[in-house]
Homo-oligomer: A and B are copies of this chain.
Amino acid sequence: MNDAATATLTDLYQLTMLQGYLEQGMTAPAVFEFFVRRLPPQRNFLVAAGLEQVLDYLESLCFTPEELDWIGRCGRFSRAFVDYLAEFRFTGSVHAMAEGTVFFPDEPILRVTAPLPEAQLVETRVINLLHFQTLIASKAARCVLAAPGRSLVDFGLRRAHGAEAGLYAARAAYLAGFAATATVAAGIRFGIPVSGTMAHSFIQAHADEETAFEHFARAQPEHAVLLLDTYDTEAAARKVVRLAARLRAAGIHVRGVRLDSGDLAAHARAVRAILDAGGLREVEIFASGNLDEHALAALVAAGAPIDGFGIGTRLDTSADAPYLDCAYKLEEYDGHARRKRSEGKATLPGRKQVFRRTDADGILTGDILALEEADVPGRALLAPCLADGRRLQPSPPLTAIRAHTARELARLPPALRTLEPAAPYPVTIDPGLLDLVRRLDEAGP
């Protein structure tokens, strides 16, 4: 994304504040942390995602001549400020949780330490990148947990909120355990397996359905998944049986069929029976159409003979919770901890670390949110990943992130793995951090 890397993917006030900071010489180190304030009611945990794109952004961030020209002409900024922006690079450091790590409210998943203007300018895009992929990975993880052993495919590009949303949703869903995406550009860009079936229009463009099936199967002799519900689902399944017998001699094998409307469990049972009776036991049944984790769980619970699911709109828009209440907040400036006390939006000050404990089986038992230097039991989740504006090591391959996510989901307490709202996972605030809050509140603003 060329445009997506531009430094002007930011709010005007970031530039306004930068000019103010620079006029006052306020360029000492600042510490900002990104965290989620509270879970949507429909989520028991979140899955961190988007770090690779944040690091790409920070490493490449600069203003183009066209952007500098616009900023210079807009009537709000000095020549000296535009000259400063012309040389702007991100020179700070980042600590973060590995992508695919599960996390909970108040826990920072990313910390930026940089000269104040640099740490400030990046706020908007850092939130934009972390928020969306975390949102989708967390929704996708619920789908994965709801349909164990089934193959899940992202079908959502068309109703994702723009191109970047479609691409990053494919990445986030794969990272969370989806098998594939239908989005070709995501396959090219991220190496995600791509998968697809056929649309109703292919059937409708033909004078009759069986001819359409045959043409499609001949064009995809090993991959064809035939869509059954354009006119009459069970009648279409019988056509597939007749067709498969004819095509077998030509070395053409129908791989599967897709159901996209009506009572999916009932259609799947009827179609399975027709296929099996026709000797097509190896032909798989895929289902799609307004699916989400609840629909998946219901179909699995009903014993519907469905091998794979295409999940689109409700995944790519995270339809039941289309945003997270998240923030990127100043926690320290020039060596002094800072705390915002706005009603309902107060922050925990200082550079923080998340310490996680597990039981003998590796199941998570509780986190402690503490100041970075605190001596607290548990595994520290935030690790350095960028310093002096450069990555400390390459980002892990997406397949490695996906494997990490699978291990993380396996270690969730059982109550958090269900779709039902569970009692909150225990996140304790360390007494040292509470002391700092008290001292800052006593000192006043």
Interface residues of A (CB under 8 A from B): 1-4, 6, 8-17, 19-21, 23-24, 26, 30, 32, 66-67, 70-71, 74, 76, 116, 120, 123-125, 127-128, 131-132, 135, 155, 157-169, 182-185, 187-189, 194-202, 204-206, 208-209, 215-216, 218-220, 223, 229-232, 260-262, 313-314, 317-319, 322-324, 326, 329-330, 333, 338-345, 444-445
Contacts and interface: CB of A to CB of B under 8 A. Distances in A.
For the complex of A and B, the 9 pairs showing the least CB-CB separation, nearest first, are A162-B164, A12-B196, A13-B196, A161-B161, A20-B219, A161-B165, A322-B322, A201-B330, A262-B343
Nearest to A10: B184
A161 B129 CA distance: 8
Contacts of A208: 445
Nearest to A17: B202
Contact of A313 (B124, B261, B318, B323): B323
Contacts of A196: 11-13, 15-16
A23 B202 CA distance: 13
Give how many copies assemble into the complex: 2
Contacts of A445: 208-209, 230-232
A125 to B, nearest CB: 8
Given A67-B188, A161-B169, A205-B338, 7 more contacts: A12-B184, A76-B223, A127-B159, A128-B166, A131-B158, A200-B329, A201-B330
A157 B9 contact: yes
A75 to B, nearest CB: 9
A147 B22 CA distance: 37
Contacts of A326: 159
A323 B20 CA distance: 40
A223 B8 contact: no
A334 to B, nearest CB: 8
Given A67-B188, A185-B8, A201-B330, A74 B194 contact: yes
Contacts of A341: 230-232
Given A17-B216, A322-B319, A261 B344 contact: yes
16 contacts: A1-B4, A11-B184, A12-B195, A15-B184, A16-B219, A16-B220, A20-B219, A67-B188, A74-B187, A116-B205, A120-B199, A128-B159, A162-B163, A200-B330, A204-B338, A260-B342
Nearest to A30: B205
A372 to B, nearest CB: 19
Contact of A194 (B12, B128, B199, B216): B12
A161 B162 contact: yes
A218 B231 CA distance: 69
B261 A342 contact: yes
A196 B124 CA distance: 13
Contacts of A157: 9-11, 124, 128
Contacts of A66: 188
Nearest to A133: B162
Given A76-B223, A188-B70, A205-B30, A200 B340 contact: yes
B340 A204 contact: yes
Contacts of A165: 161-162, 164-165
A319 B40 CA distance: 12
Given A19-B219, A223-B16, A317-B323, A6 B230 contact: no
Contact of A204 (B8, B200, B333, B444): B333
A4 B15 CA distance: 27
B201 A23 contact: no
Nearest to A207: B336
Nearest to A344: B261
Given A158-B11, A194-B12, A205-B30, A199 B17 contact: yes
A79 to B, nearest CB: 14
Contacts of A24: 215
